[in-house]
Amino acid sequence: MSDESKAMKTGQLGDITINRILELDGPFVRPLDFFDAALPEAVAPHRHWLEPKALDPKTGMLMMPVQSYLLRTRHHIILIDTCIGCRKTYDDVVPQWKDLRDETWLRNLSSAGVGPSDIDYVFCTHLHVDHCGWNTRLVDGRWTPTFPNAKYILAKDEYAACEARDTAVFHENVAPIMEAGQAVLVDTDYALDDEVWLTPAPGHTPGHVAVNFASQGRSAVMTGDLIHSPIQLAHPEWHVKFDHDPALAAKTRRHFLDSHCETDILVLTAHFPSPSVGHVVPHAERAFDFDYIPPGADAL
Ligand SMILES: [Zn+2]
């Protein structure tokens, strides 16, 4: 790992220390396989600003990390989203995510100075495969909560929708948390305290939330999948193929971009290319732009 990428993985927001915990990074999917509207002629006018950081010129694929954010507040150690995980049987979305055996994510968590038993709260922005996988791990043939001392904060609507889908995601990542008594089902505007709270961001999934946090007069938000790629800064109306409610997802995204543009709220994305964190800013030709934090910035 370069010194530059190491430096970008830790930051400070007031009293809160933030770490990005990466599981995967690199070229992920062709735009048209992800967005119905991303025909080659629709993407072409944007290649010059997307390449090479957000769109890999060699493969033509969007660069999309899979990652969590670790927060250390004065009171709590908090994980936001838990990536894909290991030995999961799900293969309906991304076949290569089935039965992964690479525990890099756990090692990256421990490199940040935190072990599984240190986590107080796990927030899931939503219950898709790449956001709740490390909720559990396979121990002696049983799916067991990875974080034995954590409460898992899940939106009620999201839990209900996941339970109704009745897939491996529910049985392997979610039900064992409930059975262990570690799930806390909350409304989509739940506040943990005056530093960490949720806001509803529905559309991608029914109970999708953004996780907000603030300290010493500074604010930040982790978006989950209310936006996936910088290409949606030019086309907020472009929805991903697997949005639960595409029109609502687009409305949520547009509202988010409008309400965060030209503010000092730090935006932590799930899947924008590394360093994934920055500010939404206006742009003369396209709807919005994203001002990534500079390498090594103490503001993350
Ligand atoms: Zn995702």
Assess whether pLDDT exceeds 50 at residue 80. yes
DSSP 5-49: HHHHTEEEETTEEEEEEEEE-SEEE-HHHHBTT--HHHHGGGHHH
What is the percentage of the chain residues whose pLDDT exceeds 90? 90
Strands (E), the chain: 10-13, 16-24, 27-29, 62-63, 66-72, 77-80, 121-123, 136-139, 142-145, 151-155, 183-186, 196-200, 209-215, 218-222, 266-268, 277-282, 288-292
pLDDT in tens, 64-76: 999 999 999 999 9
Query: Quick one: pLDDT at residue 296?
Result: 60
- On whether residue 130 sits in a domain, the answer given is yes
Q: How far is the CA of 226 from the centre of ligand 1 (A)?
A: 9
Assess whether pLDDT exceeds 80 at residue 35. yes
pLDDT band for position 5 (50/70/90)? very low
Q: How far is the CA of 204 from the centre of ligand 1 (A)?
A: 10
Q: How far is the CA of 239 from the centre of ligand 1 (A)?
A: 13
- On whether residue 277 sits in a domain, the answer given is yes
Is the distance from CB of 283 to CB of 231 less than 8 angstroms?
A: no
Q: How far is the CA of 264 from the centre of ligand 1 (A)?
A: 25
pLDDT in tens, 188-209: 999 999 999 999 999 999 999 9
pLDDT band for position 283 (50/70/90)? very high
Assess whether pLDDT exceeds 70 at residue 57. yes
Q: Which of 151-160, 262-271, 285-294 has the least mean pLDDT?
A: 285-294
Query: Quick one: pLDDT at residue 268?
Result: 97
Assess whether pLDDT exceeds 90 at residue 185. yes
Phi, psi values for residue 192, rounded to 5°: -70, -45
Q: How far is the CA of 139 from the centre of ligand 1 (A)?
A: 26
- On whether residue 297 sits in a domain, the answer given is no
- On whether residue 299 sits in a domain, the answer given is no
User: Roughly how many angstroms between the first and final C-alpha of the chain, as a whole number?
Assistant: 18
Average pLDDT of the chain to the nearest whole number: 93
What is the percentage of the chain residues whose pLDDT exceeds 70? 95
pLDDT band for position 9 (50/70/90)? low
The whole-number average pLDDT for the span 227-236 is 98
Q: How far is the CA of 65 from the centre of ligand 1 (A)?
A: 9
- On whether residue 10 sits in a domain, the answer given is yes
- On whether residue 104 sits in a domain, the answer given is yes
Q: How far is the CA of 224 from the centre of ligand 1 (A)?
A: 7
Domain range for 128 is 3-292
Q: How far is the CA of 269 from the centre of ligand 1 (A)?
A: 10
The number of folded domains in the chain is 1
Q: How far is the CA of 64 from the centre of ligand 1 (A)?
A: 9
Q: How far is the CA of 131 from the centre of ligand 1 (A)?
A: 6
Q: How far is the CA of 75 from the centre of ligand 1 (A)?
A: 28
The whole-number average pLDDT for the span 237-244 is 95
Q: How far is the CA of 80 from the centre of ligand 1 (A)?
A: 12
154: left (phi over 0), alpha (psi -120 to 50) or beta: beta
- On whether residue 207 sits in a domain, the answer given is yes
Query: Quick one: pLDDT at residue 94?
Result: 85
Is 0.75 topped by the overall pTM? Answer: yes
Query: Quick one: pLDDT at residue 295?
Result: 65
- On whether residue 110 sits in a domain, the answer given is yes
Q: How far is the CA of 129 from the centre of ligand 1 (A)?
A: 8
Q: How far is the CA of 24 from the centre of ligand 1 (A)?
A: 12
Q: How far is the CA of 270 from the centre of ligand 1 (A)?
A: 6
Q: How far is the CA of 68 from the centre of ligand 1 (A)?
A: 10
Assess whether pLDDT exceeds 80 at residue 221. yes
Query: Quick one: pLDDT at residue 294?
Result: 78
Q: How far is the CA of 130 from the centre of ligand 1 (A)?
A: 5
pLDDT band for position 7 (50/70/90)? very low
Instruction: Give the CATH number for residue 27.
Output: 3.60.15.10
**Residue showing tokens 């086309």:** 235
Assess whether pLDDT exceeds 50 at residue 49. yes
